Structure 1
Amino acid sequence: MLMRPAELEAIREGRVDLAFRRWDRPRVKVGTRLRTAVGLVEVVSVEQVPLSSLRAEDARRAGAHSLAALKDVLAARAERPVFRVGLRYAGVDPRETLRGQLPGPAEVVAILAGLDRLDAASPVGPWTRDTLRLIDRNPEVRAPELAARLGRPTAEFKRDVRKLKERGLTESLAIGYHICAVPGLPDGEVRLSGQRLSPRGEVVLDHEDGPRERAPRREGTPLPRTIGAPATRALRAVDLHTLQAVSTWTRHDLAALHGVGPIALDRLEAALAQLGLSFADRRPG
């Protein structure tokens, strides 16, 4: 179930708790916890409803400007039924916590045994160590480029990387969102991200290969994935890679960067507030 960055932020803040979709059948189940850019979003209800039953309160709870606006969105694929999906923010993705937990020797052995099982079950043969080494040598490189270096289809490679991510060994770094026309995907939005080993993954790979020199890991909280590709590129171009770095700039100075618009600034401000931070009153120097 795809959700736009603004929709995810509103769910996290408690301003949105409904979504309406045109589906041929239910695509999610009650109790499902969706992993998103803002954390876990839980599905609390799913029901098919007549379009005529929607009211202004439904539109407000879905984040639409009006009932008419909501119905306009649902006008596409009119041959499919409308589903009313209840949602709630369910907290931080537990993989984020796991990534920073450094395993001891016994746990490393258990993790490696799990990787051996993945290798044994794979139709392409052993892949886990080669993939970890490739990501380690090429931090922040996007999955399609990494897959090409291994001569593997991107979808297949990304599926395997997700298995490593489930174990807290890798993490995705947001590059932004690209708007495109994707048949069958109503939101038409694709998240672009690079890969790198997590601190946990580095410990595991170092146990296998011995320690290696790595570029210093950036300290601080990464930029939120919801600010969009233009804003992300603009901030990185001036060496702002974390929220802590962003907090040293004024809102006025950030707004002067090409690609950083009001929506991105509002999302940055909300993310800063969650850390007890804010934009600077004036830029140092």
Structure 2
Amino acid sequence: MQFTGDVLDGIASGEVDLAFRSWRTPSVRPGTVLRTAVGMVEIIEVTPVDPSTVTDREARRAGHPGREALLAAQRQGEGRRLHRVVLRFGGADPRAAMREDTALTAEELDGIVAALDRMDARSRRGPWTRATLGLVHDHPGTRAAELAARAGRDTLPFKADVRRLKEYGLTESLGVGYRLSPRGALVWQHIERIRER
């Protein structure tokens, strides 16, 4: 479930607390938490509705000027049904704070490296975490497709791997490409020190 930048700003400010989507099957359910550019968005309720019951007030609460604009923006097609989604801003993405956290002990750094080792051990294609971190370190702001080609990988699986590293606060997305976060840079330095031992 995606939102425009204006709607995300409205969710973050509390002005937008509804969304309407025409789905064959809802892509979210109550309890779903979405990561977005402005932070976390929590899904509270998902209910099928008759389009004729949607009000202008509800449309504005969903970031549209009125019900006609809201309904015109919905996907059409056989088997689709309009759903009303109640949502709320869930706060900042916890990864954002993690990316900036560089107050790590040697033991904590070893723990992160051990987690990377476990990811490598579970991989069917062999170790990949250090190679991916190294590419992002050496080529910040480079398109994912170019980084993937340098790694001899397809773009989508490569991007999925970078997202896995992002879960540990090690990488962050830029307008184009990625870079190591402050935390990621510290972990990379620790990895290089281990190699030198």
Q: Verify same fold: TM over 0.5.
A: yes
Cross-structure match for 1:204: 187
**Structure 1 residue 76 displacement after superposition:** 2.4
Q: Distance in 1 between matches of 2:143 and 2:32?
A: 28
After superposition, the CA RMSD in angstroms is 1.5
Q: Work out whether residues 22 and 78 of structure 1, in 8 Å CA contact, stay in contact via their aligned partners in 2.
A: no
Residue identity matched to 2:31 = G
**Structure 1 residue 75 displacement after superposition:** 5.7
**1:133 is the counterpart of 2:134:** yes
1:156-201 Cα shifts (integer Å, max 9, x gaps):
011111110000111111x2xxxxxxxxxxxxxxxxx420011111
**Structure 1 residue 150 displacement after superposition:** 0.7
Cross-structure match for 1:280: none
TM-score by length of 2: 0.93
Q: How many residues in Structure 1 have an aligned counterpart in Structure 2?
A: 193
Residue identity matched to 2:106 = P
Cross-structure match for 1:107: 108
Q: SS where residue 25 of structure 2 aligns?
A: coil
Q: SS where residue 210 of structure 1 aligns?
A: helix
Q: Distance in 2 between matches of 1:57 and 1:66?
A: 7
Q: Distance in 2 between matches of 1:93 and 1:198?
A: 14
**Structure 1 residue 77 displacement after superposition:** 2.8
Cross-structure match for 1:52: 52
1:58-85 Cα shifts (integer Å, max 9, x gaps):
1111111111111211262364011111
1:214-258 Cα shifts (integer Å, max 9, x gaps):
xxxxxxxxxxxxxxxxxxxxxxxxxxxxxxxxxxxxxxxxxxxxx
Q: SS where residue 26 of structure 2 aligns?
A: coil
Q: Distance in 1 between matches of 2:16 and 2:187?
A: 40
Residue identity matched to 1:151 = G
Cross-structure match for 1:88: 88
Cross-structure match for 1:255: none
Equivalent residues in 2 for 1:135-214, closer than 5 Å: 135-173=136-174, 175=175, 193-210=176-193
Q: Distance in 1 between matches of 2:19 and 2:136?
A: 36
TM-score by length of 1: 0.65
**1:74 is the counterpart of 2:74:** yes
Q: Distance in 2 between matches of 1:140 and 1:75?
A: 34
**In percent, how many aligned pairs have the same letter?**
49
Higher relative CO (CA 8 A, sep ≥ 6), structure 1 or 2? 2
Q: Distance in 2 between matches of 1:143 and 1:89?
A: 30
Q: Distance in 2 between matches of 1:78 and 1:61?
A: 27
Q: Work out whether residues 168 and 200 of structure 1, in 8 Å CA contact, stay in contact via their aligned partners in 2.
A: yes
**Structure 1 residue 35 displacement after superposition:** 0.7
**Structure 1 residue 41 displacement after superposition:** 1.0
1:106-143 Cα shifts (integer Å, max 9, x gaps):
00111111101110111221000000011000111122
Unaligned runs of 5+ in 2: none
Q: Distance in 1 between matches of 2:101 and 2:17?
A: 32
- Which structure is higher in helix share? 2
Q: SS where residue 121 of structure 2 aligns?
A: helix
